[in-house]
Structure 1
């Protein structure tokens, strides 16, 4: 692969970074340390694990998605070359700083960690303003919100407030749930309608149920805000409503019809983890002694957030010479491994030997992202095929 080709499309460096870091995060902690590898220099190491999955892995994937989608919004060529190199450099600098967190003072840590998100937000703001694409500024607001939560996390971690950092993860999770509901509920039915046209589908049409989708979004936002102010009853109610509305919306997408298309079916299954995990979170709020809240949060992280990242980003490696998208065996393996990882993580707390199940879930996670990187590799060579993540807007039946 010519080095210059790597910088010809945003998804190439950023999806690669997300996949590599997804493997590294669990390969180092907890898997590596269980075999005697020194822990990350952040006390306790679980905080490094949380931070790097949210602000390392997930934000790399989000950046790759936004910069890949943005040319369609503004009618311009994608970012290339030095701009992408600078963006990736800021992301890498933050990863290095977090690996030695305990030895780096906060005035250095904050700018190093915030540079990536703020650079993304500034770049998108300039491009969207120039194109007068004001409707897309919600994504910029989301990036700035992530930067604010990252600042809060680092401040709490430096002060030794582990409980505060853990509590912040639920706000982060619900924030990602809002993003997934907004993006997924537009993307998945659009791709499904396109597939139905290809196969001359004669069954029931995809139902969009836009009002229910808006209720799901509103409930997720309310749940996020209620969590910030520790309004537990309101949080629980919002989670229940968001779960029901998200599930009811997805049931109109004719998911069963996609079984012949693993690439599309994977999106449907990944999205269905979202209402299931939101319901699990609500149950842990209502009956805290029944099931550990941490396990429900992990299920939402692995099944819904990571599942949708993998299936959406994996589309970059699914282009065929005919111009059609087809999931290779490696991506099918990656999706199945990630879903089994989610299942093991959910089962682990109710087993007699939780550590074995947790290690099994971690190994499956690593296997999934290694397979993702294998899927992605062909898309890193030659002229980039774009747009990778596009689909015609879904139409009401």
Structure 2
């Protein structure tokens, strides 16, 4: 795969132009961060006050998980892919009014689910349109230039769209198990997409980002083993859900992915926040698979801890790492001189992971405290990202070129 960089075109644009809808990463990264704060804030309020969700077809926890996986995470995926596909294919992706239309569909679905979930049919319509529009927007240029190697990424977007429909099938009262299938699909497909993309780009980022000269290699056999095991785990969870198979697959993925990360390690990454954040996020994903396997062996470890290790530590940390890097590089800024606040942004969300995952194991009597600490530091991290990156995402490239 080509690096996620776009060669600056020769045409200049006015420096004072509002640029939020010039390229997909700009509105989706900014709105995803805002939504990460609003959604968790609302969830904490419901958790603290024991509020009952208006919908009686899905639980409050399922509603919360759906909005984070198919609302927050899907927005980050949309922003990343609309930007990456332009680079991979050399063809322009959505911008201007079409991009505003896509963003509006996403935003309206989120607004309904947060403020008026009893209008779930309306949310389903907007979300379905968003999913379909995004899929067409990223598939068309890939098919036009016949980059068939990107079909694996497209397939995950398609499956996420199917998972989203499965959730709404239960929310609308059409099925009884649609939400269960949708949430496991959303979680493991997001994790799988992160692992696929990190395999492609993180070694290159490390080689170019550290002071020492290193050459990092991937093992085809480890890559294939991880993808087979991830697919097998999802299929097993959605069908037989055999505990012994879940345990074996969880351990296998954790050990194999950890060995791959060990091969990517070089001391220089700890001097670069845009590298160690990505690297630690992948380790937290591996910890999630280990905790998932142990949840079938040790009564003190709940599967909910593994789920939050994947969600906060894996998806949360790595989406922040990717959003901060892409936003700098694609606005013409120097990725080797990022804002100093990034250390706080990454540190807060990593602390949120440890609070939500490890504190309940060490101090089970303080479970409620662990939830509140995790939520507070998560919201603080994404609030800080929004404040720091609003001018970066809304203003034109500093070199005066489109994008």
1:385 Cα offset (Å): 7.0
1:230 Cα offset (Å): 2.8
1:186 Cα offset (Å): 1.5
- In the other structure, the counterpart of 2:33 is 19
Alignment partners' CA distance in 2, 1:21 and 1:163: 27
Candidates 221, 237, 251, aligned match of 1:240? 251
Tell me the SS of whatever aligns to 1:341. Answer: helix
Structure-to-structure mapping, 1:125-164, within 5 angstroms: 125-159=139-173
Quickly say closer, same or farther: Cα 1:182–1:234, change in 2 above 3 A. same
148-157 or 66-75, larger mean C-alpha shift: 148-157
Alignment partners' CA distance in 2, 1:254 and 1:210: 18
- In the other structure, the counterpart of 2:101 is 86
Quickly say closer, same or farther: Cα 1:255–1:338, change in 2 above 3 A. farther
1:172 Cα offset (Å): 2.5
Unaligned runs of 5+ in 1: 387-397
- In the other structure, the counterpart of 1:64 is 79
- In the other structure, the counterpart of 2:305 is 295
Tell me the SS of whatever aligns to 1:5. Answer: coil
1:137 Cα offset (Å): 2.2
- In the other structure, the counterpart of 1:366 is 379
Deviation digits for residues 260-312 of structure 1, max 9, x if unmatched? 1111111111111111111111111333x231111221111000111111101
Residue 124 (structure 1) aligned with residue 134 (structure 2): no
| TM-score under structure 2 length normalisation | 0.86
Alignment partners' CA distance in 2, 1:299 and 1:127: 35
Candidates 303, 308, 322, aligned match of 1:312? 322
Query: Is residue 94–residue 112 contact of structure 1 (8 Å, CA) maintained in 2?
Result: yes
Alignment partners' CA distance in 2, 1:227 and 1:33: 27
1:112 Cα offset (Å): 2.1
1:163 Cα offset (Å): 7.1
Tell me the SS of whatever aligns to 1:259. Answer: helix
Deviation digits for residues 19-68 of structure 1, max 9, x if unmatched? 011111111112466379x7764444322211110111000000000001
State the number of aligned residues: 379
CA RMSD of aligned residues (A): 2.6
Alignment partners' CA distance in 2, 1:250 and 1:367: 29
1:170 Cα offset (Å): 2.9
Tell me the SS of whatever aligns to 2:294. Answer: helix
1:117 Cα offset (Å): 1.1
Residue 278 (structure 1) aligned with residue 289 (structure 2): yes
Quickly say closer, same or farther: Cα 1:194–1:366, change in 2 above 3 A. same
Quickly say closer, same or farther: Cα 1:299–1:150, change in 2 above 3 A. same
Deviation digits for residues 127-165 of structure 1, max 9, x if unmatched? 222222222122222122111111111222343988763
- In the other structure, the counterpart of 1:114 is 128
Deviation digits for residues 323-354 of structure 1, max 9, x if unmatched? 44333222211110011000000134343132
- In the other structure, the counterpart of 1:229 is 239
Deviation digits for residues 177-230 of structure 1, max 9, x if unmatched? 21111001121111011124xx2x25x642322321221122111111111213
Tell me the SS of whatever aligns to 2:20. Answer: helix
Residue 207 (structure 1) aligned with residue 221 (structure 2): no
Residue 377 (structure 1) aligned with residue 387 (structure 2): no
Residue 263 (structure 1) aligned with residue 263 (structure 2): no
Query: Is residue 97–residue 112 contact of structure 1 (8 Å, CA) maintained in 2?
Result: no
Tell me the SS of whatever aligns to 1:353. Answer: helix
Alignment partners' CA distance in 2, 1:385 and 1:161: 51
Q: Which has the higher contact order (CA 8 A, sep 6+)?
A: 2
Residue 50 (structure 1) aligned with residue 65 (structure 2): yes
1:239 Cα offset (Å): 1.7
Query: Is residue 251–residue 290 contact of structure 2 (8 Å, CA) maintained in 1?
Result: yes
